[in-house]
Amino acid sequence: MEEIETLWKEVRELSLGDSDRVDHLECPPTPLQFLRDFVCQNKPCIISNATLHWPALSSWTHDSYLTGALSSADVSLHLTPHGQADALVPLDGSLCFSSAHVQRMPFPEALNLITNNESPSKLVAYAQQQNNCFLSEYSALAADCDPHIPWASEALGCLPDAVNMWIGNHLSTTSFHKDHYENLYAVVTGQKHFLLLPPTDVHRMYIRMYPAAQYSYSHDTGEFKLELEKPDRYVPWCSVDPYPSPEDRDKQLSNFPLYFDGPKPFRCTLNPGDILYL
Amino acid sequence: MEEIETLWKEVRELSLGDSDRVDHLECPPTPLQFLRDFVCQNKPCIISNATLHWPALSSWTHDSYLTGALSSADVSLHLTPHGQADALVPLDGSLCFSSAHVQRMPFPEALNLITNNESPSKLVAYAQQQNNCFLSEYSALAADCDPHIPWASEALGCLPDAVNMWIGNHLSTTSFHKDHYENLYAVVTGQKHFLLLPPTDVHRMYIRMYPAAQYSYSHDTGEFKLELEKPDRYVPWCSVDPYPSPEDRDKQLSNFPLYFDGPKPFRCTLNPGDILYL
């Protein structure tokens, strides 16, 4: 066991160095530098001052601009009681992999639900749809951003497969997951906090099979119902909650020691104008 | 077994496509193209017309130029009876991993031994020393070549760790092996034939442990002696001889079916002016 822990440590250091920070560039790299220093090495980096020329960085700070531009657009809104979609939540004494209640509605109504998260209704709304939604549901905003990130497109030798849009509030949380794509994540307004672990740390995630469940929300009662999918479907998902509630904390720490006793994940915060490559 | 064979096939196709040829560029790529299309994908390629501007391509075709420039240089010459250094050869009824008899001698004498391979003496000479020898033993020739390959240095973000020189004849054979480096192999005069297998084919190589042995050559008797190293040392080496002698052929084919019954290795031939990236 000691040998394998040394191996984990060495593999981690080899792939990411011994820093606990994500590399940070103050301006966009050349395509060659981006490919050589980050893409080829599967190494994340933050690129600041990457999108300051996008009109979106100023215009999207005004809700009235967004509701005007998207006044007649229907968008997909994901509704959950606590802001955790695609995450493990308790159901009948054990954990299930829950998916949000998804509802298409006019954008102004969706934005109202996202921003009015102070209301007594137990509801967190998150606008997302990972099917190239920026160019479909949000096409009225397309001209506010560059159609692609030129230095990344040249480095990767292709245009984006998909451009997605996420609009959430401070309660919107995405649980640990992996993506099968090269991702460039640009923050336009607000902030986004990331916790990153390298692929070589997969053994610290305690990936287990969880039954899939689905939220449904009743606008009449303002209540969520969470039900297992029929027929049964099982989803492999990370068991670790990196920010457990006070009552879950001891259980998480004792159940998942490889995560909690091991090296800290890479933490970073993106601000408007920043892009995270990961 | 059928499933794992399908997996091998798919991994091979995924990493190298379904071609049985090494990619071939008619002129040097840009650093970005080289990095993106070959280095990042661990994909070999031949680049033609890559070194035609090197003075070496004309001057080295004359033995008199070489012996003049290196008249006072000592070089390392590797001597074996059949041209197979660092290869499996029979010893007392089983196979051992044999290393050549290495001797430093004045270059003109070495070149004479390399080129006079028609003589009755059972001796194949091969000038090599993989310790940056081009810039040490052969430094008198350094100005005949570019000090590095600019598009590769820019792509990889560094200058070469080592520049080596090999001078052999048609009997010089290198057995299957792996290198831990990015290699750029340039042919200046003559031809070099390569057989390449992707790393995902390692299971087809039948890597086994062989006892290390050492040739020693007596100039007096003109005979080689092959003796096991003392103390014993074992070397993991590929068991497959891709070009077995007629008497070994049946044994090779039946002992190593994954190699001989599987997909053919990538074959390529380099000519003067060509570079192989691998």
Nearest to B40 among A31, A39, A154 (CB): A39
Cis omega (within 30 of 0) on the bond before B265?
A: no
Burial degree of B78 (CB within 10 A; 0-12, 13-18, 19+): buried
What pTM did the predictor assign?
A: 0.84
State residue B84's pLDDT score: 86
| Test mutation, B33, B39, B40, chain A, max A CBs within 10 A | B40
State residue B119's pLDDT score: 57
Domains of chain B: 2-268 (2.60.120.10)
Q: Provide the pLDDT confidence category of residue A8 given band limits of 50, 70 and 90.
A: confident
Q: How far is C-alpha B142 from the geometric centre of its chain's CA atoms? A: 21
Residue-wise pLDDT for A183-225, tens only, equals 999 999 999 999 999 888 999 999 999 999 999 999 899 899 9
User: What is the ipTM for the molecules in this complex?
Assistant: 0.76
The bridge status of strand B101-106 relative to strand A192-196 is unpaired
Contacts of A258 (CB under 8 A, 6+ apart): A203, A204, A206
Residue-wise pLDDT for A39-55, tens only, equals 998 899 999 999 999 99
State residue A272's pLDDT score: 97
How far A42 CA lies from chain B's nearest CA (Å)? Answer: 10
Nearest to B40 among A31, A35, A154 (CB): A35
Residue-wise pLDDT for A69-80, tens only, equals 999 999 999 999
Q: Provide the pLDDT confidence category of residue A121 given band limits of 50, 70 and 90.
A: low
Share of chain A above pLDDT 90, in %: 81
With beta carbons less than 8 A apart as the criterion, state whether B140 and B70 touch: yes
Q: How many CB pairs under 8 A join A and B?
A: 25
Cis omega (within 30 of 0) on the bond before A55?
A: no
State residue B152's pLDDT score: 97
pLDDT at A1 over 80: no
| Closest-CA residue to A223 (of A111, A114, A96, A120) | A120
How far A25 CA lies from chain B's nearest CA (Å)? Answer: 17
Contacts of B158 (CB under 8 A, 6+ apart): none
Q: Provide the pLDDT confidence category of residue A14 given band limits of 50, 70 and 90.
A: confident
Q: Do residue B35 and residue A32 have CB atoms under 8 angstroms apart?
A: yes
Q: Closest residue of B to A151, CA-based? A: B32
Q: Closest residue of A to B30, CA-based? A: A32
Q: Please give the sequence-ordered ranges of beta strands (E in DSSP) within A72-206, or none if there are none.
A: 74-80, 84-85, 87-91, 94-99, 101-106, 124-127, 173-174, 184-186, 192-196
State residue A98's pLDDT score: 96
Burial degree of A244 (CB within 10 A; 0-12, 13-18, 19+): middle
Ordered per-residue pLDDT tens for chain B, 278 residues: 778 888 888 888 877 777 778 999 999 999 999 999 999 988 999 999 999 999 999 999 999 999 999 999 999 999 999 998 899 999 999 999 999 999 999 999 999 999 986 655 689 999 998 888 999 999 999 999 999 999 999 999 999 999 999 999 999 999 999 988 999 999 999 999 999 998 889 999 999 999 999 999 998 998 999 999 999 999 999 999 999 999 999 999 999 999 999 888 999 999 999 999 99
Residue-wise pLDDT for A134-170, tens only, equals 999 999 999 999 999 999 999 999 999 999 999 999 9
DSSP structure string for chain B = -HHHHHHHHHHHHHHH-S-SS-EEESSPPPHHHHIIIIITTT--EEESSSSTT-THHHHTT-HHHHHHHTTT-EEEEEEESSSEESEEEEETTEEEEEE-EEEEEEHHHHHHHHH-TTSSS--EEEE--TTTGGGTTTGGGGGGS-SS-HHHHHHHTS--S-----B--TT-EE-S---SS--EEE--SS-EEEEE--GGGGGGS-EEEEEEEEEEEETTTTEEEEEE-SS--EEEEE---SS--HHHHHHHHHH-HHHHSSPPPEEEEE-TT-EEE-
Q: Closest residue of A to B39, CA-based? A: A40
The bridge status of strand B94-99 relative to strand B207-218 is parallel
Q: Do residue B32 and residue A31 have CB atoms under 8 angstroms apart?
A: yes
The bridge status of strand A45-47 relative to strand A23-25 is parallel
| Closest-CA residue to B21 (of B40, B41, B46) | B46
Contacts of A155 in chain B (CB under 8 A): 32, 36
Chain A residues within 8 angstroms (CB to CB) of chain B: 31-32, 35-37, 39-40, 154-157
The total of other beta-carbon atoms located within 10 Å of residue A195's CB is 13
